[in-house]
Structure formats: C-alpha cells, structure tokens
Amino acid sequence: MKTDYSDYQNKLEKLIELLRAYNEEHWANYFRKSLELLYKGKPQKSISHSLGAYGGMGSFNDSLTFTGASEQDAKLGFELRTNLWLVCKSKRSIIKRAMEL
C-alpha cells in the first residue's frame, strides 16, 4: 500500500512560500531541501529531515518570527509549522526510512 504524501507536500510548499515572503531564508532553504528529497522519491528521508528542524535550542519552534507579517500571515505560518510537524509524525516510518537508504 502506497502512502499519500500530497498533504505533506502541500504544507511544505505553502510554508516555504510564506517563509520566503518574510525573509526567513534559512528556514525556507532548510525546508526546500525536504521538498527536494520528496521530489526525488525519498519521502521518509524528507520527513526525517523536516522533523530535524523541530526541538532544541535555536530550532524552528524557537526562532520563527515572521517579522513584518500581518497578523493573519503570522497566524497561518505558525499553524503551518504545527501542522507540518503533525503530518510528519503521522507519516514517519522507521522501516520505510531504512529501505530508502
């Protein structure tokens, strides 16, 4: 049974677009790499890379600001941050990840 990663891809693309719009280049580039891994047919490696942004000092959770964003855009960005993490956690498979290596 194939897993559908379209929701994950959609959230990544929207988040990258929003990050770039508000000069969050470091994180936009970070998640662009996750998107590239997904495009290369390595969804579990992509998910693992995305999850690497969360947790620890200076993490995506800690340093995301959306400076200059409207309240609506900032809210959307923070929702995407949380929703991406949830999608990654729900689709992560250590067995599938090992098969991609």
The answer on pLDDT for 100 being more than 80 is no
Compute CA 69 distance to the chain's CA centroid, rounded to the nearest angstrom: 19
Q: What is the pLDDT of residue 55?
A: 86
The pLDDT value recorded for residue 2 is 63
Q: Is the pLDDT of residue 101 over 50?
A: yes
Q: What is the mean pLDDT of residues 40-48?
A: 95
Instruction: Give which of 10, 44, 45, 13 is closest to 31, Cα–Cα.
Output: 13
pTM of whole model > 0.75? Answer: yes
pLDDT in tens, 89-98: 999 987 887 7
pLDDT in tens, 78-87: 999 999 999 9
Q: Does residue 43 or residue 1 have the better pLDDT?
A: 43
> Does 65 score more than 90 pLDDT?
no
How many angstroms separate the Cα of 59 from the Cα of each of 1, 42, 62, 93, 99?
A: 34, 23, 5, 22, 28
Half-sphere exposure of 92 (CA within 13 A, CB side): 13
pLDDT surpassing 60 at residue 24: yes
pLDDT at 64: 85
